[in-house]
Amino acid sequence: MSAIVNLRVFRNFQQFVSFRPISNYPTSLNKNIGVQNVEDDDFRVLELGPNKPNNMRGNRRKTAYKKTPVHPPRSNKMPVDQDWPSVWPVARVFHPASVPLPLHQGWVEPGTTPPGKFANAELMKIPNFLHLTPPAIQRQCEALKKFCTEWPKELNTDEKIDHHFPIQITTSDYLHSSPTIRDARARIVTLQVKLSTLHLNSHAKDKLLRLVKERYDPVNDILTIVSERCPLRKQNIDYAIYLLNVLVSESWKTEPWENEKSEADMEKYVWEGSQSQRTLQQLLERMPDKATDLPEVIEQYSVNVTRFHNEGEDTENVNAYKESVIKLLGLNA
């Protein structure tokens, strides 16, 4: 049994030892690598490539580079009477060679001259308006005239304009140095209209003033509505007009409980239908001699009485009420 095992081991070992892969085909390693045939005792030198003494760095031919000539700035050759809109037709970054102006920009120590226009980053960062010179604007306006209509000759005064166009809408555009041209403040819209152009009666006007509160200016009779809750300007314009329509329509509505209000329930004194008006009519009916300017006196008396009740008692209102009563009764002061 032991002899058989040894034989098997020996056979396996013999097979292992005798296995040697030999290739008769040429390879890249055999091409590029040459081994010197020297004796076994000497150190064999491995050469990775052929020896080329002629390709040394010292023997290489240097390449001559030709420098590009630098031309003088274009601004030195510009005539005085040149067509500037053709030189700078649109908005662009500042270019010093195209601007025949001795510009300086930048912070320096006091007493020294700021940096010039060449290689000046400060002039390139800020936006310029060199494309919006007066000749350029005039040329653009002349080109846009054919798309415009003439201003109506009938609208030659501000009163006529306010009569035909009572609503005034104000918007704002912002220009600044930024990666985007959009500004959140540009969406804000201001709508202004004179309250007298809405043609409201006393009931509708009183109700409208209670709804708008401080948005009404009694000095110039202007109602102001500011809209900024929508993201776009067009949306805010539509929303402001919608608010004006809702305010007017709600002001004209009369609730059932409003007809039950008496004079004591009124928020302010109203001359029409008041007890003072009825008393004055009864007094005038019993008067034998009436003045010729009685309607004007009655109108002045009603205004003074209304101011006396609504604004309170002060020296001016009391004196005005006294004068109107004297004129009404025909007494001598």
Q: What is the pLDDT of residues 82-102, one digit of tens each?
A: 999 999 999 899 999 999 988
Q: Is 239 exposed, middle or buried (0-12, 13-18, 19+ CB in 10 A)?
A: middle
Q: Determine the pLDDT at residue 47.
A: 75
Return the pLDDT at 30. Answer: 47
- Tell me the H-state helices in 262-314: 275-286, 294-311
Mean pLDDT per 10-residue run, the chain (333 residues)?
42 44 47 48 72 54 75 88 91 91 87 88 87 93 92 90 93 82 92 94 89 93 95 96 96 87 75 83 76 77 86 85 82 63
Please state, in angstroms and rounded to a whole number, the distance separating the CA atoms of residues 93 and 75.
Answer: 16
Angle (CA) 222 228 234, round 5°: 90
15-57 pLDDT, tens digit each: 444 444 444 444 444 444 444 454 556 777 777 766 655 555 5
Separation of alpha carbons 185 and 174, rounded Å:
8
pTM of the model: 0.54
What is the rounded distance in angstroms from the CA atom of residue 15 to the CA atom of residue 7?
Answer: 12
Q: What is the pLDDT of residue 275?
A: 83
**Structure confidence at residue 34 (pLDDT):** 45
Residue with tokens 């209670």: 210
Phi, psi dihedral angles at 225 (to 5 degrees): -125, 125
Look at residue 29 in the predicted model and tell me its pLDDT.
46
H or E segment at 189?
strand 189-194
Neighbours of 195 (CB within 10 A): 19
What does the longest C-alpha to C-alpha distance in the chain come to? Answer: 168
Residue with tokens 């006393």: 202
Q: What pLDDT sits at residue 18?
A: 43
The CA distance from 114 to 112, in Å, is 7
Residue type at 230 in one-letter notation:
C
